[in-house]
Amino acid sequence: MLTELELAHLRAEVAARPLPRHVGIIMDGNGRWAEQRGLPRLEGHRRGSDSVREVTRAARKLGLPALTLYAFSAQNWQRPEGEVSGLMDLLRDYLHRERPEIMDNGIRLHAIGELDRLPPRVRDPLEDLRGESAGNSEMVLTLALSYGGREEIVAMARKVAEDARAGALRPEQIDAEAVEERLWTAGLPPLELVVRTSGEVRVSNFLLWQLAYAEIHLTETLWPDFGEEALLVALDDFQKRDRRFGKTSAQIRRAR
């Protein structure tokens, strides 16, 4: 853990360099964090919501344009009914509790996923806050809820087929741009950094199309222990990488 002086220095260094336009975080480790402390798994999720607040606040202060948090996957519906119900309650409470912070800081709340699967106690406040914050422009906070990358690609393919059947899209017009316009993330900046917590080394069906050229930062930190310092370390790691997009390092240097 950094001292306050070291943290301030790292914060200033990261803020002085170009930031990724879009950061996605696979928030993992809530259950293990709780189990290591002899607590119910739901307590780990509850503590994880505190990390969501801290990381969102830090991202906003740094000036990140877009932050996407993998909050609940399409596969998470398979978890025990009591845990799923508890997670839905935590999501509902988060939406009510964080409303003032979201509105006061000019954050636009967005959501992606199979949102119609969410229970009304979550879906209603989610849609209310999305509508209320629609005019905010300081940062886009996207919650991936009932989300899966494969599910998103299937939904996109159906949309392409529907548009083609309706005569609105010809086969030769189907390119990367046409695909991206029909993804749930349409309108968001390109994903440039994905952070995976808890030491796992997989993408877990997260933003599969979008992460094609994203940098990946892995950390052993469990999500409830992930805060501003861990975010700054991830951003510092990103800023030190050589992003070539298929070109050579020499080509990139000449273009600067």
Give CA separation, 213 vs 1, 21, 227, 253, in Å: 30, 13, 25, 19
Residue 242: per-residue pLDDT: 87
Residue of 76, 105, 136, 205 with catalytic role? 76
Residue 254: per-residue pLDDT: 56
Active-site residue 136, yes or no?
A: no
Residue 124: per-residue pLDDT: 98
Q: What is the pLDDT of residues 168-219, one digit of tens each?
A: 999 999 999 999 999 999 999 999 999 999 999 999 999 999 999 999 999 9
Whether residue 76 has pLDDT greater than 90:
yes
Fold of 22-147+192-240: Undecaprenyl pyrophosphate synthetase (3.40.1180)
| Domain segments of the chain as ranges | 22-147+192-240
pLDDT (mean) for 48-52: 97
Evaluate whether 85 touches 41 at the Cβ level (below 8 Å): no
Confidence of residue 1 (pLDDT cuts 50, 70, 90): confident
In a 13 Å sphere around the CA of 37, the CA atoms on its Cβ side amount to 15
Active-site residue 28, yes or no?
A: yes
Confidence of residue 245 (pLDDT cuts 50, 70, 90): low
